[in-house]
């Protein structure tokens, strides 16, 4: 079922008991190193988080990325692919490649500089080795669907929360709903200037959510999402959102991973909420990589 209003979403939740039937967190992950790290000029058209005034240091980005991979490897198996200077946004592979139990999905990117990422034979071979069939949307010209950038998924209950923008249209939302095998998807408009839902919203292992209320066109959307996580929604301040605190990822049911900048931005009450819900904060420095317009969650492609 795919719905596009807060009322319809609440009604769907009330009409059916969405019991957990899928893994809450990934069993492995892969990353793409920031070789040739620089500003992808085409992406600046609709990603206001990119630091167009900044100098980019490949050496610093590579060091941060290596630290991220090493830290994550203490929680789950991690594979790192080499980057390519011709695809500088490839450090954010979760926008292009995604999985669900028994499924591999390849997205349809808006910009040509990102469409080239979907052509990588090495990553395709890696995903094919899982034995899961592939739904390849990359050749479609009738939709835009940037995977778990616009689509935030409550994995155990198979409920999608999909933000529409230049990076995902309604046809893309419908295609991802089917490709991921979701039971319910709530489609809504992101506020002007927001390019991906996962910068303003995340589901934490299906147990809680983090969101920024002002990043949705309809103020009733975040209220409706709260119906999915009663009493367990962390509403971010503008400062916390700007520091990528919503671009977080649950790996292991009691770990929330953010960049050190995001963790530093958290108010005491935000930290207390996460702790009271049973989550430990884990962080790594990603200041250089964040200049490219994404943070920790964007760097991690999950394998279920």
State the maximum Cα–Cα separation within the chain, in Å, rounded to a whole number.
53
The pLDDT value recorded for residue 283 is 98
User: What integer is the mean pLDDT of 201-223?
Assistant: 98
Statement: the pTM of the whole predicted model exceeds 0.85: yes
Angle at 115 (CA atoms; ends 123, 67), nearest 5 degrees: 50
User: What integer is the mean pLDDT of 78-94?
Assistant: 95
Residue 47 has pLDDT above 80, yes or no: no
Identify the CATH number of the domain defined by range 2-303. 3.75.10.10
Residue 51 has pLDDT above 90, yes or no: no
Residue 272 has pLDDT above 90, yes or no: yes
Q: Measure the CA–CA gap between 286 and 224, rounded to whole angstroms.
A: 32
Residue 40 has pLDDT above 80, yes or no: no
Domain boundaries, the chain: 2-303
Is residue 38 very low, low, confident or very high in pLDDT (cuts 50, 70, 90)?
confident
Residue 264 has pLDDT above 90, yes or no: yes
The pLDDT value recorded for residue 39 is 74
Per residue, the 3-state secondary structure of the chain, as one string, reads: CEECCHHHHHHHHHHCCCCCCCCCCCCEEEEECCCCCCCCHHHHHCCCCCCCCCCCCHHHHHHHHHHHHHHHCCCCCEEEECCCCCCHHHHCHHHCEEEECCEEEECECCCHHHHHHHHCHHHHHHHHCCCCCEEECCCCCCCCECCCCCEEEECCCCEEEEEEECCECHHHHHHHHHHCCCCEEEEEEECCCCCCHHHCEEEECCCEEEECHHHECCCHHHHHHHCCCCCCEEECCHHHHHCCCCCCEECCCCEEEEEHHHHHHCCHHHHHHHHHCCCEEEEECCHHHHCCCCCHHHHCEEEC
The pLDDT value recorded for residue 22 is 97
Q: For 139-174, what is each residue's pLDDT tens digit?
A: 999 999 999 999 999 999 999 999 999 999 999 999
Residue 240 has pLDDT above 80, yes or no: yes
User: What integer is the mean pLDDT of 49-61?
Assistant: 87
Q: How many residues does the chain have?
A: 304
Phi-psi region of 102 (alpha: psi -120 to 50; beta: other; left: phi over 0): left
Pairing relation of β-strands 280-284 and 255-259? parallel
User: What integer is the mean pLDDT of 249-273?
Assistant: 96
Q: For 88-147, what is each residue's pLDDT tens digit?
A: 889 999 999 999 999 999 999 999 989 999 999 999 999 999 999 999 999 999 999 999
User: In this structure, what is the dihedral angle of CA atoms 153, 154, 155, 160, given to the nearest 10 degrees?
Assistant: -40
Is residue 50 very low, low, confident or very high in pLDDT (cuts 50, 70, 90)?
confident
């Amino acid at each position: 079922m795919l719905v596009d209003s807060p009322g319809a979403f609440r009604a769907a939740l009330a009409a059916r008991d969405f019991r957990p039937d899928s893994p809450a967190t990934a069993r492995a992950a892969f990353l793409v190193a920031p070789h040739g790290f620089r500003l992808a000029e085409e992406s600046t058209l609709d990603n206001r988080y990119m630091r167009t005034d900044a100098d980019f240091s490949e050496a610093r980005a590579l060091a941060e990325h290596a630290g991220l991979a090493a830290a994550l490897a203490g929680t789950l198996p991690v594979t790192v692919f080499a980057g390519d200077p011709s695809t500088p946004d490839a450090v954010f592979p979760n926008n292009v490649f995604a999985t669900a139990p028994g499924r591999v999905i390849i997205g349809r990117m808006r910009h040509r500089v990102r469409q080239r990422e979907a052509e990588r034979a090495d990553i395709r071979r890696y995903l094919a080795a899982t034995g899961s069939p592939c739904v390849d949307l990359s050749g479609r010209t009738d939709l835009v669907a940037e995977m778990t950038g616009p689509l935030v998924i409550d994995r155990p209950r198979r409920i999608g929360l999909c933000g529409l923008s230049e990076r995902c249209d309604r046809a893309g939302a419908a295609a991802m709903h089917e490709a991921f095998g979701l039971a319910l998807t709530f489609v809504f408009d992101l506020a002007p200037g927001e390019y991906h839902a996962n910068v303003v919203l995340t589901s934490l292992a299906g147990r809680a959510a983090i969101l920024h209320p002002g990043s949705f066109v309809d103020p009733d959307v975040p209220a409706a999402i709260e119906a999915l996580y009663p009493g367990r929604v962390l509403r971010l301040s503008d400062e916390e959102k700007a520091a990528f605190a919503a671009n977080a990822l649950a790996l292991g049911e009691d770990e929330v991973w953010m960049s050190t900048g995001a963790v530093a931005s958290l108010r005491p009450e935000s930290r207390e909420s996460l702790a009271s819900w049973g989550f430990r904060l884990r962080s790594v420095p990603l200041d250089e990589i964040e200049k490219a317009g994404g943070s920790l969650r964007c760097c991690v492609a999950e394998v279920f």
